Structure 1
Amino acid sequence: MQAQIPPSALAEAPLPASPLASPLEPAFLGRPFSRGDTASTLRTIVALMLREMTTRYGRSPGGYIWAVLEPLGALLVLSMGFALVMRNPPIGTSFLLYFATGNMPFTLYSRVDNAVSRSLGFSKPLLMYPSVRWIDAVLARFLLNSITSMIISFILLTGTIVMTETRTVLELGPILTAMTMAALLGMATGLVNCALTGLFPVWDMFWGMATRPLYIASGVLVMYESLPRVAQDVLWWNPLLHIVGEMRTGFYPTYNADYVSMSYVLLVTLALLALGLLLVRRHHLTILYD
């Protein structure tokens, strides 16, 4: 004879776990990090990078070719436009090289900033799995976009030097420093924007309007030395201006960028990075599921 279960026992028994847990349950906090978890973390990051590569470039004809053609077209248009107005660039003899040395670090920063700020939303379906943490999504987008932008920059700058015959003497130290700091600054501002946009959606529109003049204010088109003294005192606080100046010192040995302070850029980057990590760690569940 089958035993009867009293109703009170049924009421007190725990419900079976749902395959789709609530966003606030511990499963959605992601796996805790440990020393033995490094291999799993690397596999997760690589898988997220491959997913983005397939999503962004795998479905379009030409794939990664467009990633090179787009910035190349922008450089050619800028060079031809300014060549019609000015006889010589502010430094050097090639308009193409002048714009490339300013545009490449700025594009790297912008690309990483935009990718990291949207990393949680981009990988939201995968963050439902306990094996995927929010930091994995951030690092995957940071690494993929940084590597892609640096490869594109290398191709464009090499092609520019070969085609224009500038006979420039390269210094790899300032070039690598500028590109690395541009990527790290992009990650730092991207994390802060990720948190602020997730908590206050209007922030995305405000940030877009506020940074629209950044291309000019960062010294990509106009040299810092050619600006009025009042503008120099204000724009000096823009870390991208220092990064662009450092980049150009690696291509123009005679260019003396006295205003550049990479220690200031590093300080700003570390402060924003710490703030961004703190905000996203504290509010990533709210950003994902509210």
Structure 2
Amino acid sequence: MSAAGMVPIPPSRPERRHWIIDGMATQGRVIGALVMREMQTRFGRHNLGFLWLFFEPLFLGCMVGLMHYAHGRHLPGGVNPFLFSIAGYVPFFMFRTMVNRAGSALHANLTLLFHRQVTPVDVMIARNLLEAASVVGVIILILSVAIWLVGIWPANPLLVFFALMLMAVLCHGISMGVAALVSRWEGADRLIHPITYLMMPLSGAFFALHWLPNWAREALLWNPLVSIHEAIREGIFGNAFPSYYDLKYVGWCILITNLLGMLALRTARRKLEIF
């Protein structure tokens, strides 16, 4: 039989598994290298420069918490206003930084995208892993200090960290869409920053849905950030006041934003390769 008439033999199951494992290992090495490059670009080669990654959200969160604590507002259930505020602002900081910095991600790594193994999704994963790690580290520090100094134990730590993971994956999906949009229209980057600031009073970072009337509660639950903040507060404060959230709806939002984000980045790479 001639070569033209030969039917290619499909790879066996062990071979396919081997290809998948090799592909995942390669992508892991690429993302690890991008994370190290991002840290050196942002914080330099100084040994303690990377600490700013944790200090920035911690410092801003503490300032916000102190302002609310100095205001002297008594919260329902005897909840500490400082802890309530910082537990709301720090997760929102993850959303703000991931989305705000997404616009410059592809252009800052444009030369790397000419390598076949480096994709726009890898670039976004590397950047967002750093932001998520900083927020999770700060939350762990805050809860540890609350246990040590005040004796406040989180009611459900697993719920807190699960909600933080949901926040990270949701923000990752949104940031991919923002990066693709800015690659096509650079003027969009100027709109992203004010939009994220306007999102703060609607995110549920500084209020509990229990304090609002039913109509406002139902309207705000369309924003997945509100459900995530409510879940984080329930994980920390327990039944100090009722919490309202829908993590199934958040899951659907995560699925849709990530699928659309990856599709948008796929089309954006073709445009970037022209330049």
Q: TM-score, normalised by structure 2?
A: 0.82
2:84 counterpart letter in structure 1: Y
Find the counterpart in structure 2 of residue 156 from structure 1: 142
| 2:121 matches 1:135 | yes
| 2:110 matches 1:110 | no
Find the counterpart in structure 2 of residue 69 from structure 1: 55
Identify if the C-alpha distance between structure 1 residues 96 and 129 changes in structure 2 by more than 3 Å, giving closer, same or farther.
Answer: same
Alignment of 1:46-195 (within 5 A): 46-59=32-45, 62-163=48-149, 165-195=150-180
Aligned length: 257
Identify if the C-alpha distance between structure 1 residues 257 and 192 changes in structure 2 by more than 3 Å, giving closer, same or farther.
Answer: farther
Offset at residue 116 of structure 1 (A): 4.4
> What is the rounded CA distance, in whole Å, between the counterparts of 2:123 and 2:178 in structure 1?
15
User: What is the percentage of aligned positions where both structures have the same residue?
Assistant: 25
Offset at residue 63 of structure 1 (A): 1.1
Based on CA coordinates, which of the two structures has the bigger radius of gyration?
Answer: 1
Find the counterpart in structure 2 of residue 5 from structure 1: none
Find the counterpart in structure 2 of residue 39 from structure 1: 25
Q: Per-residue displacement from partner, 1:196-231 (whole Å, max 9, x unpaired)?
A: 121122222233333322222112122222234443
> What is the rounded CA distance, in whole Å, between the counterparts of 1:168 and 1:143 in structure 2?
27
> What is the rounded CA distance, in whole Å, between the counterparts of 2:70 and 2:119 in structure 1?
52
Offset at residue 257 of structure 1 (A): 4.1
Q: Per-residue displacement from partner, 1:1-37 (whole Å, max 9, x unpaired)?
A: xxxxxxxxxxxxxxxxxxxxxxxxxxxxxxxx96533
CA RMSD of aligned residues (A): 2.4
> What is the rounded CA distance, in whole Å, between the counterparts of 2:242 and 2:120 in structure 1?
39
Find the counterpart in structure 2 of residue 271 from structure 1: 256
> What is the rounded CA distance, in whole Å, between the counterparts of 1:138 and 1:282 in structure 2?
15
Identify if the C-alpha distance between structure 1 residues 254 and 79 changes in structure 2 by more than 3 Å, giving closer, same or farther.
Answer: same
Decide which structure has greater helix share: 2
2:190 counterpart letter in structure 1: M
> What is the rounded CA distance, in whole Å, between the counterparts of 1:58 and 1:156 in structure 2?
27
Offset at residue 167 of structure 1 (A): 2.7
1:43 counterpart letter in structure 2: R
Offset at residue 84 of structure 1 (A): 3.0
Q: TM-score, normalised by structure 1?
A: 0.79
Name structure 2 gaps, 5 residues minimum.
Answer: 1-18
SS in 2 for 1:221: coil
- Does the aligned pair in 2 maintain the 1:105–1:243 contact within 8 Å? no
- Does the aligned pair in 1 maintain the 2:58–2:138 contact within 8 Å? no
- Does the aligned pair in 2 maintain the 1:120–1:288 contact within 8 Å? no
Offset at residue 80 of structure 1 (A): 2.7
> What is the rounded CA distance, in whole Å, between the counterparts of 2:138 and 2:234 in structure 1?
20
| 2:163 matches 1:202 | no
> What is the rounded CA distance, in whole Å, between the counterparts of 1:90 and 1:57 in structure 2?
41
